Structures are given as structure tokens and as C-alpha cells.
Structure 1
Amino acid sequence: MPELAGVQHVALTVTDAARSADWYAEVLGLRIVVRFEEGGGERYKIILADRAARILVGVVEHRGAPPERFDERRPGLDHLAFAVDGRAELDAWAAHLDALGVPYSPVAPATLDPRNSVLVFRDPDHIQLEFFAVPAEN
């Protein structure tokens, strides 16, 4: 079987692409690399990147769609987790979110493996995001 090389990008449907792009830039430090329309203006997309971490996030506004709030209980995306290097980095992200006034859950052991730690927060459309830390191997 062929092998995957990683995840190339994730695209998130949002109600306001410009607002979401600004939020992802401020909160996660992603840089906006391109803005464009598709489908005769029906879709407005903004691509953000952290080139060092090799992360691309697209925010997609489907114009004319009902402005429903995200709900992970419906089919589709449940959450998006960003890897961070250890508990100290996770605590640094918590302090960063505090400084920006972004609500988040207390750092907690991950459900599947309590040696890992997770911090949960949400974007402007209520999409669940996580910072996920795996301890260094001993």
C-alpha cells in the first residue's frame, strides 16, 4: 500500500472568512498567504500558513448559506488538534489565550492516553480546536 506523507491542509467552513482569518492570525500566529473567490463569488477562501510547522488552514465562506453555528455532533468535522511540544508549551499557549481573552478548558489528561495533555478552545464559529501535547519519550 502507498504511504501518506502527512496532512497537506485543512479547510474549515466559516460564516465570515475575513473575521475568521483575522482570528486565526491573531490567536495561532498563522499568516494569510492568499485570498480568492470561486464559483462566481459563491465561495470566498482565505488560506493561512505556518510554514515552519508545515500547517495550512483554509477558511471558506459559502455565501448565501445559512449562518448556522458549528456543532461537532453533526456529521463532518469533530475537532482539529494542533500538536505542541510538551506540557510547558501547552502552558505557554494557555497564557497566550488568557492574554487574548480566548476562553478555553483547563489543561487535562487526554481521554485516550492520560500521559498526553489537551487544552480545548473554540474559534469564532464555535469550531472546537485543541492544543495537544505528547510528553517526550524517556
Structure 2
Amino acid sequence: MLKLNRIHHIAIICSDYGRSKHFYTEILGFKVIREVYREARKSYKLDLEVNGLYQIELFSFPGPPPARPSQPEALGLRHLAFEVDDIKAAVLHLNKCHVVTEPIRIDETTGKSFTFFTDPDDLPLELYEN
């Protein structure tokens, strides 16, 4: 059996590097590990730390292909979820930063609160209360 230890990183391709960099660093508060401009690809790669545990790689490419549909039941990755201690405070922060969130809902299985919002390219993101 294959032994997988944990998720190492999540890669996201964005359409507007500056806008997405601002969103992930200033609004979501992820720490920049490193930022590299790759001349051969005419693109940036930004490595972001998520609370010391995981890494998000934010890529920019000239003329990326159009995104797949991002509706909840679209084929492929459904959404990326982040755990928070206080969902109401997290939603308030996002809303103050002009990020629209869905109403907070309760997971019928766990009884935990959650909500959805999107990044600048409409990638579906979730907040899930610890």
C-alpha cells in the first residue's frame, strides 16, 4: 500500500497575479515563503504558508486557458476549505475587505458552522469552524 504522509501543497493558477497576491496575502493573511519570477515562462510563482502547516503555490502564466465551471457540482476539485476558530469573526473580516460570503450554515453531520466565498478568479473557498 502507498503511504502518503500529508498534503504537501496546493497549486492555483490565477489570471491577475497582483490581484490574487493581494487577496491571499493581505486579505487571507498567508505568509510569503518565496516569490520567484521565472523568465523562461514569463510568470511568477508565489509560495505561501498557511499557518505553518501547508503551502499554496500561486502561479501566473501569460494567457492561461479558460477556467472550468466552478459551480459546486462541477467535475474536478470542488473547493478548498480552511479551518477557522471563529467563523463569525472570519466572515466579518472578509466582508470588511469587500469579499462576499454566503450565509453561515451548519453541517448536518458534524454540527459545525461553515460558509463559502470565492477568490478573485471565482475559485470556490470554504471556511469551516473548528
TM-score (norm: length of structure 2) = 0.83
Report deviation, 1:79. 0.8
Q: Which moved more, 1:71-80 or 1:17-26?
A: 71-80
Report deviation, 1:17. 2.2
One-letter amino acid of the counterpart of residue 109, structure 1: I
Residues 121 and 24 of structure 1: CA distance in aligned 2, closer, same or farther (over 3 Å): same
Q: Which residue of 1 aligns with 2:69?
A: 71
Report deviation, 1:55. 2.4
Gaps of 5+ in 2: none
User: Would you say 1:124 and 2:116 are equivalent positions?
Assistant: no
Gaps of 5+ in 1: none
Q: What is the percent sequence identity of the aligned residues? A: 28
Q: How many residues align?
A: 128
How many Å separate the matches in 2 of 1:19 and 1:78?
Answer: 22
One-letter amino acid of the counterpart of residue 125, structure 2: L
How many Å separate the matches in 1 of 2:127 and 2:41?
Answer: 34
TM-score (norm: length of structure 1) = 0.78
8 Å Cα contact 1:106-1:119 kept in structure 2: yes
RMSD: 2.2
Q: Which residue of 2 aligns with 1:49?
A: 49
User: Would you say 1:104 and 2:101 are equivalent positions?
Assistant: yes
How many Å separate the matches in 2 of 1:122 and 1:31?
Answer: 19
Residues 128 and 83 of structure 1: CA distance in aligned 2, closer, same or farther (over 3 Å): same
8 Å Cα contact 1:17-1:46 kept in structure 2: no
Runs of 4+ in 1 over 6 A off after TM superposition: none
Encode CA deviations 1:7-54: one digit per residue, 9 max, x unaligned: 1110111112232111111121112221224481244211111343x1
Q: Which residue of 1 aligns with 2:25?
A: 25
